[in-house]
Structure 1
Amino acid sequence: MQPLAAQVAPGTYDQIQHFITDSPWNIQGLEQIVADRAQHLLGGKGAVLIIDDTCLTKFGTRSVGVGRQYSGQVGKITNCQCLVSITLARDEIPIPLRLKLFLPSEWSTNVERCVRAGVPQEHPLQSTKWEIALREIDDLKGTIQYGMVLADAGYGVSARFRRALTERGLRWSVGTVKTQRVYPAHVRLIPIPKHFRGRPPRHPTPSEDAETIESVLDRESWRRVMWRQGTKGPLIGTFAAKYVRLADGNENARGQHLPGEGAWVIGEQRARDEKKYYLCNLPPETAFEHLIQVTKQRWSCELGHRELKQEVGLNHFEGRNWQGLHHHAVLCLAALLFLQWLRLSQPDGLFGETVPAVRREIAGETPRRPRTQIQYCPCCTALFSGP
């Protein structure tokens, strides 16, 4: 804020501090601008919407939502704030659209503490991360176009989350754990007989037993697939996949879940015999290589998180209240969006690395102009000279 104040409001640094932390402006309008511009740059059936979270390391206990929770950046449980992120990505280019604070249990069960930190009364306090993500997906409906929703195992292990995505008509690929139970794709339900001695069962019986995806994929052949062309050459991994029925239907009398929707289970062999597992509800006729390429696109949100922190200062916020944190977050989203627009719209070599496939499409839609003709205000979020 200090360099910004030096340009637009010399000697009044406190006014910009007030604008971010205390001024009662609403973030919805700026969020809509970010979504509209992101749709113009990346939106379409070839894009993916990535759900993840990113953490801001903190000291003390008064910053809203701070608590001891897992931080992927640190790689362990630490004192931090956790923001649920929604990112639009295509051809390795990420544009984060939303950042919403998650309240851990020590906050969500303490109404007085939330009031002191300025948490809005209408905010559902005891929301899980996947419930926050679903609300943002619903809010973006009609604004953003994409072909798939991607998420890591922190979201993918929830059958309710997966069902909610399917009910919204969305295709998804999510991480999961090796103990996720599944049925063979040809499983059927044996109906309850009309005449039964003793107490009749309340649920039909599956014709096959459920087993873990680890055991299912151990019987499959593992293949090497190139899933992305990296800057230092092709990225190749070893994968296996099988189409199954997920064991996430109604629970029967024996505590077993009945067959649910059909989905692919995908395994990835990593270094030191480590394996990662994924679920994907693409149709059974989907090509093996396409399954892998779609699933591995989730990595691009990590690049977006890194740039939010390193390029535009997401983790520099020093306020404590809910409103200030979300003001700061949405301004960071707008700033990073502007940087991505510059990278995509300028001639080669003038502004960092670019992705040719996206740039060619943008160049076909709008004429490309020299960088010297860009007109923008350094203190305003309406930064775009393009359409």
Structure 2
Amino acid sequence: MNTIVLRRRNAAVPGPIRHRAPLTSDAAGYDGVVTELSAALFAEFRRKDQRMKAEQYLRGLLFAEGRKSIRNIAAHVGGAAAEQALHHFISSSTWDWQPMRAALAGYLERSCTPRAWVVRSLHIPKAGEHSVGVDRLFAPQLGQMFRGQQAFGVWFASEELSAPVNWRLMLPDQWVNDHERRDRAEVPEGLGCESQEECAASVAIEAAQNWGVTRRPVLLDLRGSSVRPTLARLAAARVPVLGRIGASCRLTVADRAMPGFGAGPLPAQQILESTKGLRRPVHWLDPAAGRTSRTSLASVVRVSLLNPQTGRQRPMLLLGEWHDPQRPPVQVWLTDLTNAPVAPLLRLTKLTRRVEQDFAEVGEEVGLRDFVGRSFRGWHRHITLASAAHAARVLSAGDDGLGLDLGLENAA
């Protein structure tokens, strides 16, 4: 069972609103953060020239004007000669991006104590057909189809800041089974097709199992997906989860004192609407509105969900949030953090807003969508360094001093 440890950290005292500094090469505080981050992330490179190129690329992502293409980055750090060297470093070199991602995760954990990991999808529009993974895909943020690449990222998030640390690129069928395309894009052997929910779960499990970082609750959107298999995969990997679900997801009331007990699986919204008397006001700070104080009504109900791998009912908490008490809940969440009170659980869900805000303000600026190459390896190297640039930017802009410290202890 997952238990949650709560330690209060001055949550009642709002801190100053920190506006991010413009992305200029003389921005105060950047040099120190970039130098320290480079030392932590690039130590795996044995050669000095590789460490130098990695730091050049990182600084170019932070300070180059316009789209963060290799050409624009090279123009900022050294011109045509630098372009050829950086192109080789990103697209044709042999360095493995995973140790750098693990180092970034460790650095962030030491620097800002993330409260949770937020899994967010990233759609990257592409007009051509030759970039790895390009297809006609569904973008959850848009609620519609688009043509391009689809990826899922794990973001380490606290109330004050967030940064991506791991990525998984979806590979549609033709990029897996068409050997000519696969060879041209340098897709490694062993990678297969995944659904969106499989990709979202895999990117979190990879970080949890391979990096030696403290396991935090994983927040992800499970609406429209296979809830039971996804939760079962995360449970088998011992990754605690807080998943947003659809109102029609069917659950079994596990509390004998609650309406619906003994009635079998019921829609989540019906369970929540029948227990309105449990709702209580919860105050939270909105990172998408300058940390404005807001209040929602929220309640939790003990439920169970059939685990398809074991055939057993798994204890869960169903969390509902209301803005208007006369209307249906605006968000419905399901979690295996069964000992967590309602207020910290609801505040934990707001870390998705922190991630959305930081992506809009910082992620776009440092080039998370901007890789113009075609190869699988090149895309991963670029987005790894763009994640490092994102971390440098948010760490330079503020600190992590507020809110609830949600530490997690896993017991068998």
With normalisation by structure 1, the TM-score equals: 0.73
Structure 2 counterpart of 1:180: 249
Indicate conservation of the 8 Å contact 1:92/1:297, yes or no. no
Moved more, 265-274 or 241-250: 265-274
| Residue 225 (structure 1) aligned with residue 282 (structure 2) | yes
Larger Rg belongs to: 1
Q: Could you tell me how far 1:64 is from its partner in structure 2?
A: 0.8
Structure 2 counterpart of 1:30: 100
Q: CA RMSD in A?
A: 2.9
1:82 aligned to which of 150, 154, 176: 150
Distance 2:309 2:239 in 1: 22
Distance 1:249 1:23 in 2: 43
| Residue 343 (structure 1) aligned with residue 402 (structure 2) | no
Q: Could you tell me how far 1:259 is from its partner in structure 2?
A: 6.1
Pairs within 5 Å for 1:30-69: 30-43=100-113, 47-69=115-137
Distance 1:101 1:236 in 2: 37
List alignment gaps of at least 5 residues for structure 2: 1-69, 404-412
Distance 1:276 1:138 in 2: 28
> Which letter maps to 2:213?
I
Deviation per residue, 1:150-195 (Å, 9 max, x gap): 11125874212212222333322101112211112157xxxxxxxx
Structure 1 residues 30 and 237, CA gap change in structure 2 (3 angstroms): same
Structure 2 counterpart of 1:382: none
Distance 2:362 2:382 in 1: 11
Distance 1:308 1:232 in 2: 17
Structure 2 counterpart of 1:366: none
1:21 aligned to which of 79, 91, 94: 91
Q: Could you tell me how far 1:149 is from its partner in structure 2?
A: 1.4
> Which letter maps to 1:217?
L
| Residue 278 (structure 1) aligned with residue 333 (structure 2) | yes
Indicate conservation of the 8 Å contact 1:269/1:276, yes or no. yes
> Which letter maps to 1:264?
L
List alignment gaps of at least 5 residues for structure 1: 188-205, 252-257, 345-353, 359-387
Q: Could you tell me how far 1:55 is from its partner in structure 2?
A: 0.9
Distance 2:164 2:375 in 1: 22
Moved more, 264-273 or 77-86: 264-273
Q: Could you tell me how far 1:94 is from its partner in structure 2?
A: 0.5
| Residue 171 (structure 1) aligned with residue 228 (structure 2) | no
Indicate conservation of the 8 Å contact 2:122/2:150, yes or no. yes
Moved more, 334-343 or 146-155: 146-155
Q: Could you tell me how far 1:88 is from its partner in structure 2?
A: 0.8
Structure 1 residues 140 and 215, CA gap change in structure 2 (3 angstroms): closer
| Residue 150 (structure 1) aligned with residue 219 (structure 2) | yes
> Which letter maps to 2:104?
V
Higher relative contact order (CA 8 A, sep 6+): 2
Distance 1:58 1:289 in 2: 41
Distance 1:301 1:155 in 2: 21
| Residue 325 (structure 1) aligned with residue 394 (structure 2) | no
1:357 aligned to which of 402, 405, 408: 402
Structure 1 residues 248 and 78, CA gap change in structure 2 (3 angstroms): same
Structure 2 counterpart of 1:290: 344
Distance 1:38 1:339 in 2: 12
| Residue 161 (structure 1) aligned with residue 230 (structure 2) | yes
Indicate conservation of the 8 Å contact 1:157/1:177, yes or no. no
Distance 2:309 2:369 in 1: 43
Q: Could you tell me how far 1:120 is from its partner in structure 2?
A: 0.8
> Which letter maps to 2:371?
F
| Residue 315 (structure 1) aligned with residue 369 (structure 2) | yes
Q: Could you tell me how far 1:54 is from its partner in structure 2?
A: 0.9
Distance 2:189 2:305 in 1: 38
SS at match of 1:61: coil
Q: Which runs of 4+ in 1 moved over 6 A?
A: none
Q: Matched residues, percent identical?
A: 22
Indicate conservation of the 8 Å contact 1:88/1:94, yes or no. yes
Indicate conservation of the 8 Å contact 2:112/2:400, yes or no. no
Structure 1 residues 154 and 307, CA gap change in structure 2 (3 angstroms): farther
Structure 2 counterpart of 1:263: 316
With normalisation by structure 2, the TM-score equals: 0.69
> Which letter maps to 2:161?
I
